[in-house]
Amino acid sequence: MVETDKVWLITGCSAGFGRELVLAAHAAGDRVLATARRPEQLADLVAAGGGRIAATALDVTDPASVAAAVGTALGTFGRIDVVVNNAGHGSVGAVEELELADLRALMEVMFFGAVEVTKAVLPHLRARGSGAIVQMSSMGGQVSMPGFGAYCAAKFALEGLSEALAAEVRPLGITTLIVEPGAFRTEFGGARMHRSAPIDAYRESTGPTRAAVEQMDGTQPGDPAKAARAVVTVLRSDDPPLRLALGADAVDHIGAHLDAVRADLDKWAELSRSTALSGVAYR
């Protein structure tokens, strides 16, 4: 097997972006270890892979499971070039409505699980002096809205950590890519969406979000297969970005958010700068 191809380890491959990333990487001539908590759901991918797709169980909240999956990737394909942290699910509910146990469970999968997988793969990428870490975030990794506080908190945390990670591993030859999709036709909004028990006081602020969630699954404009191919294209470019927005809605909403942040920064800059000790300049 020539080493012009790449070996991917992808989490959360039973549906949505994970499944499409497996197919896109395979179509590009690469090899993939597809993972899911129930790997039997991946049997059709393996059957269609012609020996270039393998599957194994992976629960990102279980360090032993993470280590075993990394070992399977190395044992099956000899190396890992790209790791994609994709496992996760949605959540809707106002902040006061959140059960902390549910919030912690969400963070375990979407933040701590991604960190665990990243840490497990990094020694192998460092040894090779190359590779890529792909963090499947969301436009909700930069833009939050009523009712999505828990979900966006996990994505904000992942993006903050990944921005630091990118600067740490870039000198080692490793690329970090944060992917920020908008509304794509995955199962987001469907059965995998956790819903907090509503408090009537938040009907006005979070009610529209809850209603949108109930109608969302199957109506989103984004094509996850095209999104997956876009990720493959970016990883093959000579100068990949740190962040990749996917979907016109992501471009528009993130752009509007950045404009609003800049406007607030500029509006209050004089007061912000006036807080230094007398005779001491900020550096």
- Catalytic-role residue among 6, 138, 151, 196: 151
Residues in the chain: 283
What are residue 183's phi and psi, to 5 degrees? -85, 110
Q: Please give the Cα distance from 78 to 72 (Å, whole number).
A: 9
89 alpha carbon, distance to own chain's centre: 11
- Catalytic-role residue among 6, 65, 138, 155: 155
**What is the distance between the terminal CA atoms of the chain, rounded to a whole angstrom?**
53
What are residue 173's phi and psi, to 5 degrees? 90, 15
- For residue 145, the one-letter residue type is M
Q: What is the DSSP letter of 28?
A: T
Residues ≥6 apart with Cβ < 8 Å to 102: 91, 150, 194, 196
Q: What is the DSSP letter of 184?
A: B
Q: Please give the Cα distance from 198 to 221 (Å, whole number).
A: 28
151 is catalytic: yes
Could you give the maximum distance between any two Cα atoms of the chain, in Å?
A: 70
With contact defined as beta carbons under 8 Å apart, do 183 and 216 qualify?
yes
Q: In 98-169, which ranges are E strands?
A: 132-136
202 is catalytic: no
- Catalytic-role residue among 137, 138, 162, 196: 137
Q: Which residues are catalytic?
A: 137, 151, 155
